């Protein structure tokens, strides 16, 4: 491909999209050109767009035209050209890419197994997103797990953080955890982590009627409840809520039912991004946003460099292998496939037990 193809979305209207082709620039000293191979598209990427202004996700891959943006995705790329003495053409990298065919990078810190994109506009952004794995140099790198890794690693690393956070806080004194949007991969990973604890609390999965059977089939939740039946839950049990839905109606009803028994709510995601207004019953003082990169940075300080990655990697790999029993990853290629995957996920049409791995 001669040009760089980019899939752009209108920042304030995520279903308005366009493809833009840019000339490949001449590489400056120390720069490399990475050819993006494949990347995952899940609700997580839609959330990057929904909270793009608030959290700064549009800043990773900026576009000259202010109203438009490029959604970040997790996946693999191969180095197509290099003006960097320590990075060779043909190297494979795992990390955070634009929905585009290529990315020009400026590797800063380069170690045997990682490199950091030190492009000036990325320096102020959370370091977790700027760090790339040099997978060709990884001991035990298994290309057969590329699809599992691009879809599940960022989500299950968050699941591991959530479990670690709850455990570190003694489950906030609760004997029950309710997970909202229980069919999402981040929720399922959290359920894997909680269920592998020595003394897990009771785990309730809250989901939509259409996903109920899929969630029940996982056999991970002690109870599966659909959104319409929230009021049938026992309100007298001390409870922590891990919420991926961001659904103001759902959270308000849960908080009203539980009252003082709502010990803590972790607002992790916004899969129901069109229902985000929190009503009067939402208990703000015991609710807080969860930002996995922030937790990772805290653990890097607590545990020393590399330890979090080691533990999260081991958790991710085990859980990803288990997930092969229920998850179908659909691979597709070309600009139309990229657009189709985006629209399918944005409209909530991708089945809960499926995910996309696409590329230009």
Ligand X SMILES: NC(=O)c1ccc[n+]([C@@H]2O[C@H](COP(=O)([O-])OP(=O)(O)OC[C@H]3O[C@@H](n4cnc5c(N)ncnc54)[C@H](OP(=O)(O)O)[C@@H]3O)[C@@H](O)[C@H]2O)c1
Residue 182 vs 220, nearer CB to ligand X: 182
Binding ligand X by CB under 6 A: which of 101, 186, 190, 265? 186
User: At closest approach, how far in Å is the CB of 178 from ligand X?
Assistant: 12
Region near ligand X per CB under 6 A, out of 105-113, 231-239, 289-297, 320-328: 289-297
Region near ligand X per CB under 6 A, out of 25-33, 74-82, 164-172, 265-273: 265-273
User: At closest approach, how far in Å is the CB of 206 from ligand X?
Assistant: 7
Binding ligand X by CB under 6 A: which of 268, 319, 337, 358? 268
Binding mask 129-148 for ligand X (x = CB under 6 A): --------------------
Q: Interaction with ligand X in 199-218: which residues (CB under 6 A)?
A: 207-208, 211
Region near ligand X per CB under 6 A, out of 29-37, 38-46, 122-130, 232-240: 38-46
| Residues paired with residue 179 on neighbouring β-strands, in sequence order | 205, 242
SS (H, E, C) the chain: CCEEEEEEEECCEEEEEEEEEEECCCCCCCCEEEEEEEEEECHHHHHHHHCHHHHCHHHCCCCCCCCEECCEEEEEEEEEEECCCCCCCCCEEEEEEECECEEEECEEEECCCEEEECCHHHCCCCHHHHEEEEHHHCCCCCHHHHHHHHHHHHHHHHHHHHHHHHHHCHHHHCCEEEEECCCCHHHHHHHHHHHCCCCCCEEEEEECHHHHHHHHHHCCCCEEEEHHHHHHCCCCCCEEEEECCCCHHHHHHHHHHHHHHEEEEEECCCCCCCCCCCCCCCCHHHEEECCHHHHHHHHHHHHCCCHHHHHHHHHHHHHHHHHCCCCEEEEEECHHHHHHHHHHHHCCCCCCCEEEEEEC
Residue 101 vs 181, nearer CB to ligand X: 181
| Residues paired with residue 203 on neighbouring β-strands, in sequence order | 177
User: At closest approach, how far in Å is the CB of 143 from ligand X?
Assistant: 23
User: At closest approach, how far in Å is the CB of 294 from ligand X?
Assistant: 8
Closest CA to 223 of 214, 233, 209: 233
Is residue 38 within 8 A of residue 359, CB to CB? The reply is: yes
Residue 63 vs 275, nearer CB to ligand X: 275
- Under rule CB under 6 A, how many of the chain's residues touch ligand X? 28
Residue 17 sits in the site that holds ligand X (CB under 6 A): no
User: At closest approach, how far in Å is the CB of 271 from ligand X?
Assistant: 4
Residue 291 sits in the site that holds ligand X (CB under 6 A): yes
Residue 354 backbone phi and psi in degrees, to 5 = -135, 165
Binding ligand X by CB under 6 A: which of 31, 183, 239, 323? 183
Binding ligand X by CB under 6 A: which of 31, 101, 130, 181? 181
Region near ligand X per CB under 6 A, out of 2-10, 217-225, 286-294, 319-327: 286-294
Residue 128 sits in the site that holds ligand X (CB under 6 A): no
User: At closest approach, how far in Å is the CB of 326 from ligand X?
Assistant: 12
The residues binding ligand X (CB under 6 A) are: 42-44, 47, 155, 158, 181-186, 207-208, 211, 244-245, 268-272, 290-292, 347-348, 352
């Amino acid at each position: 491909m001669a040009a760089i193809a980019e899939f752009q979305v209108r920042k304030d209207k995520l279903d308005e999209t366009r493809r833009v082709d840019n000339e490949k620039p001449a590489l400056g000293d120390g720069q490399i050109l990475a050819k993006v191979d494949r990347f995952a598209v899940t609700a997580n990427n839609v959330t990057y767009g929904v909270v793009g202004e608030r959290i700064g996700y549009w800043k990773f891959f900026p576009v000259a035209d202010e109203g438009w943006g490029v959604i970040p995705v997790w996946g693999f790329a191969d180095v197509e050209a290099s003006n960097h003495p320590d990075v060779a053409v043909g190297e494979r990298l795992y990390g955070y890419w634009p929905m585009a065919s290529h990315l020009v990078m400026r590797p800063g810190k380069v170690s045997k197994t990682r490199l950091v994109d030190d492009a000036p506009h990325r320096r102020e952004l959370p370091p977790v997103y700027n760090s790339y794995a040099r997978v060709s140099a990884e001991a035990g790198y298994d290309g057969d797990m590329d699809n599992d890794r691009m879809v599940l690693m960022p989500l299950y690393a968050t699941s591991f953080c959530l479990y670690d956070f709850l455990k570190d806080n003694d489950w906030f004194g609760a004997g029950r955890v309710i997970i909202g949007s229980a069919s999402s991969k981040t929720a399922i990973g959290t359920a894997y982590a909680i269920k592998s604890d020595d003394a897990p609390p009771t785990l309730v999965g809250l989901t939509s009627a259409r996903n109920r059977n899929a969630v029940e089939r996982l056999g991970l939740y002690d109870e599966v409840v659909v959104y319409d039946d929230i009021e049938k839950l026992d309100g007298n049990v001390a409870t922590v809520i891990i919420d991926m839905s961001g659904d103001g109606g759902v959270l308000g009803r849960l908080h009203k039912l539980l009252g003082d028994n709502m010990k803590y709510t972790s607002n992790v995601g916004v899969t129901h991004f069109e229902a985000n207004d929190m009503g009067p019953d939402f208990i703000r003082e015991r609710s807080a946003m969860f930002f996995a990169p922030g937790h990772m940075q805290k653990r890097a300080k607590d545990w020393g460099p590399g330890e979090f990655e080691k533990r999260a990697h081991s958790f991710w790999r085990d859980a990803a292998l288990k997930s092969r029993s229920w998850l179908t990853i659909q691979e597709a290629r070309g600009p139309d496939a990229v657009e189709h995957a985006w629209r399918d996920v944005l409209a909530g049409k991708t089945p809960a037990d499926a995910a996309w791995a696409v590329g230009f």
